[in-house]
Amino acid sequence: MQKGEMLIGWSTKEDVRKRGGSGGLVTSVVAAALEKKLVDAVVVLRKINEFEAVPIITSDVNEVLNSAGSLHSVPSNFAKLIADRNLKIALPAKGCDVRAIIEQSKRNAINPDNTFIIGLNCGGSMHPVTTREMLDVLYKIKPEDVQGEEIEKGKLIFETKDGKEHAITIDELEEKGYGRRENCRYCMLKIPNNADLACGNWGVTGDLVGKATFVEINSEKGAKLLQNAIDAGYVQIQKPDEKGIATRAKIKGAMEGLGKKWKEKVFVPLDNRLEYFRKELEHCIDCGACKTVCPTCSCGDISKCTEFHSRADPYRMSMYHLVRFLHLADSCIGCGQCSDVCPADIQLARLYRRFANPVQEELKYEPGIDLRKPPYFEAKLEV
């Protein structure tokens, strides 16, 4: 087993296969890492219901085996949860989580040698409140009646407790203002090859559809992680067929194409940039949630954006935001967590990307992709 290898695998445990998504491979890899002491702790989502799960750090294998499967309505944020804790840890992570972990590693807040990242293919996540409203308005089903959801062939499908499936195309949902969070629509990282493993159902074919996970090994750590799960008897694997590999590449290409279209649609050139930013930020209440939640920020309580800012200042646009725009130009990964938590519903991710897109394109620097590339605007001090 080595870097670059592609495999198809599933959990050997029947209950995990049933509960977890796509054959329960990810849950089993994480559980095996814990049980065989490859790591001391893992991050899992403790499921509350179909629209809510809370991330926890645990060393309890049973908690891992009982954790949530794929939940598109839980836009989780794991990097800060594990930052500055010096843990030997394994965790599943969607593309933006992986990017955030890499950025935190560059800033010495996470030790990459002790962090095993199981990347999850991600076409996008949805805000739970928007999802509940969407179920009511468009699907005409009660959120309480939902018992599962999946995305397949461009459709978002909800399964209700009566066994029926309810499908609407994502295009239609998004035209009507529902569907994925805005930043997910223009995200270009669909298969997280920046993680130790990249897992998902794209490329699983034939009888194994829905029952297995396609795994790409991206690092030696990834190989070790998967081999550990096989040796522990948690996971079985086989080689994928050529058709599967081709399908996977095709889906990836299509998703990236769609992301590019959305990017062009959202980031139309501006006539009056200063006025645009002033207007967008006029309802800011200075809560600081966007900084607190930002998974690439590792400044702590005392930071440039807060220290240069005072509520007593009469600026028409706060220094806090100006400093953050600058600070994030090279490190914003477009995860959208800032927009999610803004109490004034400011589309902050869009504003940060307005600065980050041209800078990152010009510098050919994508944050969170390659651990060896230091943040462009900062020097990484060797300790």
Partner 1 sequence: MNVYSTICPGCNFGCGLYIRENGKLELDFRKSSPANAGKLCRFGMSLPRFYAPLRSTVDGKETTLDEAAKEAAKRISGGSAAFLSFGNTTCEELLAFQKLAESYLCTGANFDALPKDTHQTLSVGIPYSEVETAKHIVLFIDPYEQYPLILRRLLAAKKKGAKITSVWWKKLAVADETVNPADISKLQLTKDSLVIADFHPFSDVEQVKNVLSIAKNSEARITFLKPFANSTWAYIAAKDAKQKSLAQLVEDINKGTVKTLFCLESDPSELIPQDVLGKLTNIIVQAGQAGAITNKAHVVVAHEPLYKKKGTLINNEGRAQALGGGSTNGLDALGIVAGTKLEFNSLHESVKKSLGIAAVDEFSIPKYERPAYAALQAALKPVEAKTALVSVYNPFMWFNMIDDNDFVEMSLNTSRGLKLLKGGTIKIKSNGSTIEKKFRVAPVQENVLLSCKKFGIEKGTITPVEVSR
State the residues that interact with partner 1 by CB under 8 A.
Answer: 46, 48-49, 51-52, 54-58, 73-75, 127-129, 132, 143-144, 282-283, 285-289, 292-293, 310-314, 340-345
Select 276 or 378, whichever has its Cβ closest to partner 1.
276
Residues whose CB falls within 8 Å of the CB of residue 91, separated by 6 or more in sequence, listed in order = 30, 42, 43, 44, 78, 82, 97, 115, 116, 117, 118
Select 22 or 339, whichever has its Cβ closest to partner 1.
339
Q: Output the smallest distance, CB 353 to partner 1, in A.
A: 20
Q: Which long-range contacts (CB under 8 A, 24 or more apart) does 150-159 make?
A: 150/21, 150/70, 151/72, 151/123, 156/72
Select 202 or 352, whichever has its Cβ closest to partner 1.
352
SS (H, E, C) 50-111: CCEEEEEEECCHHHHHCCCCCCCCCCCCCHHHHCCCCCCEEEEEEHHHHHHHHHHHHCCCCC
Q: Output the smallest distance, CB 69 to partner 1, in A.
A: 17
Distance CA 312, CA 290 (A): 20
Select 218 or 298, whichever has its Cβ closest to partner 1.
298
Q: Output the smallest distance, CB 332 to partner 1, in A.
A: 19
Select 287 or 363, whichever has its Cβ closest to partner 1.
287
Q: Output the smallest distance, CB 341 to partner 1, in A.
A: 5
Q: Output the smallest distance, CB 148 to partner 1, in A.
A: 17
The Cβ of residue 311 has, within 10 Å, a number of other Cβ atoms equal to: 7
How many CA atoms within 13 Å lie on the side-chain side of 327?
17
Select 238 or 310, whichever has its Cβ closest to partner 1.
310
3-23 core/surface letters (b: 16 or more CB in 10 A; e: else): eeeebbbbbbbeebbebbbbb
Select 59 or 238, whichever has its Cβ closest to partner 1.
59
Select 143 or 368, whichever has its Cβ closest to partner 1.
143
Residues whose CB falls within 8 Å of the CB of residue 357, separated by 6 or more in sequence, listed in order = 263, 267
Q: Output the smallest distance, CB 41 to partner 1, in A.
A: 9
Distance CA 178, CA 213 (A): 28
Q: Output the smallest distance, CB 134 to partner 1, in A.
A: 14
Instruction: Tokens 């706060």: give the residue.
Output: 318
Q: Output the smallest distance, CB 144 to partner 1, in A.
A: 8
Instruction: Tokens 């969407």: give the residue.
Output: 134
